[in-house]
Structures are given as structure tokens and as C-alpha cells.
Chain A
Amino acid sequence: MAALVRISSVCHRGVSPLLFRSSSLIRPLAVQKKDRDCPYSISAKIHATPSNYAGSGSKAASLHWTGERILSIVLLGLAPVAYYYPGPAVDYTLAAALTLHGHWGLGQVLTDYVHGDFKIKMANAGLFLLSTVTFAGLCYFNYHDVGICKAVALLWSK
């Protein structure tokens, strides 16, 4: 990343980089012969995506990523809340947050290791089923049994 910043900052000044940059070691070798031309699109040349695809995708993946991080932080905050304020509100929130965090996490694992359109579809369907059953089970436990917070407390009291 530093190499790209260097090249673009040099290019904007329109000066031959070799005269004014003593530490040219940082830049990758493949780029060195190109920066003499110093076109403004040099960063586009380094970037692998064809330019006709730039900006034509949706923001779904990016939003998903952000959602994952926000959920992680929420879950982190839920731990002390569950300890100091146990009860049904925290129980159900914990059930939802844990299930979704696990669902998204396992989704990433599947994306990494499962390949082929049909297999991906099947794996994700299976995951969806698992997560649904998990959430249903946790809600059932919260409603008909002692609830998550109490369950942990009981387990630790033994």
C-alpha cells in the first residue's frame, strides 16, 4: 500500500521519480519502468480489476462486512451486561446475537472452503437450516427452561 501511495504522490507532481526519490527500494520492481511515463492511471494499471467493472457492483458485501463487525462489538458488550443484569431481555438478545454471529462466521468458513455453484448453494441452505434450528432451540430454552444467563450461572455454581 505504501508503494502505491508513493507512486501516486510522485506522479501528481509530474517529476521523474528516480531523480528525487532515494529510497526507491520500497516500490515493487514490476512498477519501476512504468513510473517514468507517469500516467495518472498508473494506480489503475496496478489494480487488477478491469476498469469497466469498477463501481458496477452492489454494496451488499461491504455492508455485510460492517454488519459483522458491529455485531461482534454488540456481542462483546453483551457479556458484562449478561453478568450484571441477567434476565429474559438479555437471554433473548444473547440468543439472537450468538446465533447470527455464528451464522455469519460459519458462512465465511463455507465461502472459503466450498466451491462450485451447486455445492455452495447446498451448503448455505444447510447452514441456514442449522441456524434457524439453533435460534428456535435457544428461544425455546429461554421460554420453557431457565434461560441462558441462569443456565451459565447454574453450571458455574456446581
Chain B
Amino acid sequence: MCQFYTCLKNMWFLCEMSKFWAKNTRLNRPVSPHISIYKWSIPMMMSISHRGTGVALSSGISAFALAALVLPESYPYYLDLIHSMTFGPQFLAFSKFALAFPVAYHTFNGIRHLAWDLGKGFKIPEVYRSGYIVVALTVLTSIGLATM
């Protein structure tokens, strides 16, 4: 990671960016309103949701890994513990849905991103159409997984 960064530092645009941020933070300049005034669109919301689900899932995995290192008992023990505390099958189904939803969304939208990386689907109607398909697939998959 450090070597990668040193390489980047030699590149002009990063140098310019650093200078930009250094100067503007030093001068304490106010930032023009942007996300507080721009009209939200479906692609915008889906984009930040992709990032949001990514960060949430990553945090969840890190929390799980940390718990594995710190907690004394085994996984089945804690799973049975939580299971004995739950408030009925609806709660379990909802928890499965709540877990499956961000995974499904991030996966399907991730595929949409990969299609863009191949250069496909950039026309605005296509962006919206693929977006709706991702949301539909996410909801269906999450419901399907929650019932399993």
C-alpha cells in the first residue's frame, strides 16, 4: 500500500490535488452547497447505497472476525444463545432478510458496475433500467433467502 502510494505521489494530478486541499483547508474556505441542493436521482441513490452496503458489510465482517478472536465460546454456542433469546419465527425471518438484503443489493449492483467497467449500459435509459432490475432482484432474492 505504501509503495503504491509513493508511485502515485509522483503523478501530477495527485500533486495538484494535495496542493488544492492544503490551500483550501488553510484558507478555511466555505464549500458551496452540493448534495444539500442538488435534486436526488435514482442512480445517485443507488450509487451511495452501493458504497453504504459495502462499508456496512465490511464492518460486519470485521466485527465478526474480532468477535471470533475475543469471545471465549464457540460459534454454535452463541448462535444457540441468540436463538433462545429470539421472539419467534418472524424475527428470525426478518433477521435473515436484514442480512441478505445488503449482500444481495451489493452483489447485484456490483454486477451492474462490472458491466459499466466493460463499457456497457451507459445510456441514461439503460442506467435506469439496469437500476430497477437490480432493485427488483435484490428484493426478490432477499425474500427468497429469508424464507429458506
Chain A interfacial positions (CB closer than 8 Å to B): 49-50, 53, 56-58, 60-61, 64, 69, 72-73, 76, 79, 98-99, 102, 105-107, 109, 115-117, 120-121, 124, 128, 130, 133-138, 140-141, 145-146, 151, 154-156, 158
A141–B75 CB distance below 8 A: yes
Residues on A with C-beta less than 8 A from B83 are 158
**Which chain B residues in 111-148 approach chain A with CB under 8 Å?**
111, 114, 117, 145, 148
B75–A146 CB distance below 8 A: yes
Residues on A with C-beta less than 8 A from B66 are 133-134, 137
Output the least CB separation between B57 and chain A (Å): 7
Output the least CB separation between A135 and chain B (Å): 7
Output the least CB separation between B13 and chain A (Å): 7
Question: Residue on B with the closest CB to A142?
Answer: B68
Residues on B with C-beta less than 8 A from A50 are 12
B65–A154 CB distance below 8 A: no
Q: Name the contact of B79 in the complex, choosing from A69, A124, A154 (C-beta under 8 A).
A: A154
B7–A60 CB distance below 8 A: yes
Extra contacts, 15 of them, besides A58-B7, A146-B74 (Cβ < 8 A), are A49-B13, A53-B12, A56-B10, A60-B8, A102-B58, A105-B58, A107-B1, A117-B18, A121-B5, A133-B65, A145-B68, A154-B76, A155-B79, A156-B148, A158-B92
A69–B13 CB distance below 8 A: no
A138–B61 CB distance below 8 A: yes
Cα separation A72 to B114 with both chains bound (whole Å)? 8
For chain A, what secondary structure do more than half of its interface residues adopt (helix, strand, loop), or is it mixed? helix
A116–B21 CB distance below 8 A: yes
> Which of B13, B51, B75 has the most chain A CB within a 10 Å cutoff?
B75
A137–B7 CB distance below 8 A: no
For chain B, what secondary structure do more than half of its interface residues adopt (helix, strand, loop), or is it mixed? helix
Cα separation A124 to B55 with both chains bound (whole Å)? 15
Q: Name the contact of A109 in the complex, choosing from B7, B51, B64, B68 (C-beta under 8 A).
A: B51
B21–A115 CB distance below 8 A: yes
**Which chain B residues in 1-23 approach chain A with CB under 8 Å?**
1, 3-5, 7-8, 10-13, 17-18, 21-22
Cα separation A94 to B141 with both chains bound (whole Å)? 21
Q: Could you pull out 30 A-B pairs where Cβ atoms are within 8 angstroms?
A: A49-B12, A49-B13, A53-B11, A53-B12, A56-B10, A57-B12, A61-B7, A64-B4, A76-B110, A76-B111, A79-B107, A102-B58, A102-B62, A105-B58, A106-B54, A106-B55, A109-B54, A109-B55, A116-B21, A133-B65, A133-B69, A134-B62, A135-B65, A137-B66, A137-B68, A138-B64, A141-B75, A145-B74, A146-B75, A151-B75
